[in-house]
Amino acid sequence: MRIFVFGSSITSSYWNGAATYYRGIYKGLATLGHEVTFAEPDIYKRQQNRDLSEVEYAKVIVYQTPKDIEELMGLACTADLVIKHSGVGADDELLERRVLGCKSARTQVAFWDVDAPATLQRVEGNAFDPFRRCIPRYDFVFTYGGGPEVVRRYGKLGAKNCHPIYNALDPETHYPEAGDDGLKCDLAFVGNRLPDREKRVEQFFLRAAELAPEMRFVLGGEGWGGKALPANVRWIGHVGTGAHNRINASARMVLNINRESMADVGFSPPTRVFEAAGAGSCLITDKWRGIEMFFEPEREILVADSAEEIVGYLRGKTAEEARAIGGAMHGRALEEHTYAQRAAEVDTILREARADRHPSAVDANALKAALRRA
Q: What is the pTM of this model?
A: 0.91
Rg of the chain over Cα atoms, rounded to whole angstroms, equals 22
Confidence of residue 360 (pLDDT cuts 50, 70, 90): low
Q: What is the pLDDT of residue 359?
A: 66
pLDDT mean over 308-326: 97
Query: pLDDT of 69-79, one tens digit each?
Result: 999 999 999 99
Query: pLDDT of 106-119, one tens digit each?
Result: 999 999 999 999 99
CA atoms of 57 and 124, how far apart (whole Å)? 37
Confidence of residue 6 (pLDDT cuts 50, 70, 90): very high
Q: What is the pLDDT of residue 373?
A: 47
Domains of the chain, start order:
2-167+339-357 (3.40.50.2000), 181-336 (3.40.50.2000)
Query: pLDDT of 262-285, one tens digit each?
Result: 888 999 999 999 999 999 999 999
pLDDT mean over 10-36: 97
